[in-house]
């Protein structure tokens, strides 16, 4: 199932562009996406990009569009002027109101939940991820390395 989200890029002079992405927008997926856009080492390198280049890079990713779809679950605001990323979860029970969340805490929670899920699968005797048949133990190691990157990041 897709986790739909939007990315709002606010330029240093006040311009704003909103981009819709259809999947992988849960907090840890968004962090991984933004880290990749930033060059892969430090998420804060994203603020070195111009509004135009960041918009083009986002639109090059699969399932990204300038149009907005219904059913948005998360919104991420990238403020290039103030060098800040703000994350929002959409509260569908309260008129689709965006509620600010602690982005880093949510990313770490997603990672930890995924690791716990995979550990449970291993305990139940299911050793391989069903799609690519990769061992859960290898995927857990990748998530643990990813968690270290997130923990060291200042955002």
pLDDT digits (tens, 9 = 90+) for 11-42: 888 888 888 888 899 999 999 999 998 998 89
Boundary-marking domain end, from 101, 123, 142:
101
Mean pLDDT of the 89-114 span: 91
Q: Are residues 139 and 76 in the same domain?
A: no
**What tens digit of pLDDT does each residue of 120-133 get?**
999 999 999 888 89
Domain count, the chain: 2
Tell me, yes or no, if the pTM score tops 0.75: yes
Q: Are residues 96 and 114 in the same domain?
A: no
- Same domain for 52 and 108? no
Do 80 and 117 reside in the same domain of the chain? no
Please indicate, yes or no, whether residues 27 and 90 belong to a single structural domain of this protein: yes
Q: Which domain holds residue 143?
A: 104-152
Contact between residue 25 and residue 101 where contact means Cβ atoms under 8 Å apart: no
Same domain, 78 and 92: yes
22: nearest Cα among 52, 53, 1, 43: 1
CA distances from 67 to 4, 31, 127 (A): 12, 22, 40
């Amino acid at each position: 199932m897709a986790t739909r989200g939007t990315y709002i890029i606010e330029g240093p002079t006040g311009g704003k562009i909103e981009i819709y992405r259809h999947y992988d927008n849960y907090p840890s997926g968004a962090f991984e996406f933004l880290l990749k856009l930033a060059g892969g080492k430090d998420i804060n390198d994203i603020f070195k990009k111009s509004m135009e280049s960041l918009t083009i890079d986002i639109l090059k990713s699969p399932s990204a569009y300038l149009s907005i779809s219904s059913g948005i679950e998360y919104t991420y605001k990238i403020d290039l002027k103030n060098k800040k990323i703000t994350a929002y979860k959409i509260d569908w029970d309260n008129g689709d109101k965006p509620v600010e969340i602690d982005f880093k805490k949510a990313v770490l929670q997603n990672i930890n939940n995924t690791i716990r899920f995979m550990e449970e699968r291993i305990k139940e005797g299911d050793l391989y991820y069903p799609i690519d048949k990769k061992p859960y133990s290898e995927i857990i190691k990748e998530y643990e390395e990813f968690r270290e990157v997130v923990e060291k990041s200042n955002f």
